[in-house]
């Protein structure tokens, strides 16, 4: 079941832009409206961490972050979980340097940890077409984990999170939004923003 504040199911929706003068780099006109402020991110991740703590009581989950986009989310998420946890990272590529997926997923960095009989939570930055997620589920599921769950910071409105068995969803975003910040990038830029904003093409 996906988690949402106040006990409702499903991810939190993208609300009105949360931008303020302190929430953007005003000198970079590619940074558009802020979708989720630092405060909104912190509050939502605290709720996700509390839910994982409850769901995994008596177990020590291994959180596997998908590099590089999920690294910031994973770092904050593990600190919100009141359990003994382990971390590892895996890297795959399907975007290259463009804003469109190539349609082909390849493994770039494998795990260091053995997944046999471990309770694994795969931590994604964003679920959209499901291409990467299907690849990782198959790859990690073949390694004999006791359980395999998915937590994603973002999911597009059209993403079938229930059909893809995504148990923990932070926020939903519009299908046509290309987002940056809080670990998400464009050509390796903008990962260090403390909030999530839309990317705006300038001069087009």
Catalytic residues: 128
Tell me whether strands 179-180 and 196-199 are parallel, antiparallel or unpaired. antiparallel
| Cβ–Cβ < 8 Å for 1, 54 | no
| Cβ–Cβ < 8 Å for 63, 74 | yes
| Cβ–Cβ < 8 Å for 37, 18 | yes
Residue owning tokens 């670990």:
183
Tell me whether strands 147-156 and 119-127 are parallel, antiparallel or unpaired. parallel
| Cβ–Cβ < 8 Å for 127, 161 | yes
């Amino acid at each position: 079941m996906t988690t949402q504040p106040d006990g409702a199911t499903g991810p939190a929706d993208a609300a009105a832009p949360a931008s303020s003068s302190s929430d953007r780099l005003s000198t970079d006109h590619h940074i558009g409206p802020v979708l989720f402020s630092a405060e909104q991110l912190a509050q939502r991740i605290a709720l996700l961490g509390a839910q994982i703590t409850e769901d995994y009581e008596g177990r020590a989950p291994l959180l596997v972050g998908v590099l590089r986009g999920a690294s910031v989310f994973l770092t904050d998420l593990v600190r919100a979980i009141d359990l003994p946890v382990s971390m590892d990272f895996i890297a795959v590529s399907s975007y290259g340097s463009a804003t469109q997926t190539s349609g082909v997923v390849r493994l770039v960095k494998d795990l260091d940890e053995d997944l046999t009989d471990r309770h694994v939570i795969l931590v994604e930055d964003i679920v959209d077409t499901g291409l990467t997620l299907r690849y990782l589920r198959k790859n990690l599921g073949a390694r004999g984990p006791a359980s395999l769950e998915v937590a994603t910071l973002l999911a597009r409105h059209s993403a079938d999170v229930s059909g893809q068995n995504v148990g923990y969803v932070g926020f939903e975003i519009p299908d046509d939004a290309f987002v940056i910040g809080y670990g998400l990038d464009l050509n390796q830029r903008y990962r260090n923003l403390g909030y999530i904003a839309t990317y705006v093409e300038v001069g087009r």
